[in-house]
Amino acid sequence: MSDRLLELEESATQTGPKGVINDWRRFKLESMDQENLPTAKKELLRQMSSPNKSKDDSRGSLNRKMSVQEYEMLKEEDEGCLKKYRKRCMQEMHEKLSFGPRFDGVHDLDSGEAFLEVIEKEHHSTVVVVHIYKAGELLGNFLACTQHLNEEFFATDVEAFLNSYGLLPEKELPGGEDEENDVE
């Protein structure tokens, strides 16, 4: 039953204006391909597909083997058609699967305020990727770090997040040296 529904959905999507436009594009590409065929190839295809052959002619053509050139020509045509078909299918799949806004910007941030400002300007569904470097060396790499924070977050929340991964230096409390001496 679900296969039947999928078939109906697929056929339904091709009956509207988009389906007509896609069919027209496909027809134009095929007609351009036919126009670009060399005359020798056209003649060979005409001979092979002609329904009005005499019996003597058909017997001779059945016994006749294709030459290497004819075989290579047909093979190249098949490969070209397959490449175009694959490319068209990949393009159609890409069009079906690529929806929504596209973000591909990189922002160099010098402060926490700049980080918050950039995140607030982006769409709420944008995946934020954070790379933290120190002296040119990668210290941390976080994908979708905004999922770990609440909708409204403060600098202390970001600080706690980074501390949980050990990326910020420990804060020294005043009089901290005296406590260490007392423990020993």
Say what the pTM is: 0.35
pLDDT for position 123: 75
Domains of the chain: 1-55+64-96 (1.10.168.10), 112-165 (no CATH)
Decide: helix, strand or coil at residue 180. helix
Contact 143, 127 (CB under 8 A): yes
Cα separation of the two ends of the chain: 75
Per-run averaged pLDDT (10 residues), the chain, 184 residues:
50 68 83 74 74 55 68 85 92 80 75 82 76 84 76 80 80 55 47
pLDDT at residue number 5: 47
- C-beta atoms surrounding 119 within 10 Å: 19
Q: Which two tokens stand for residue 22?
A: 């896609």
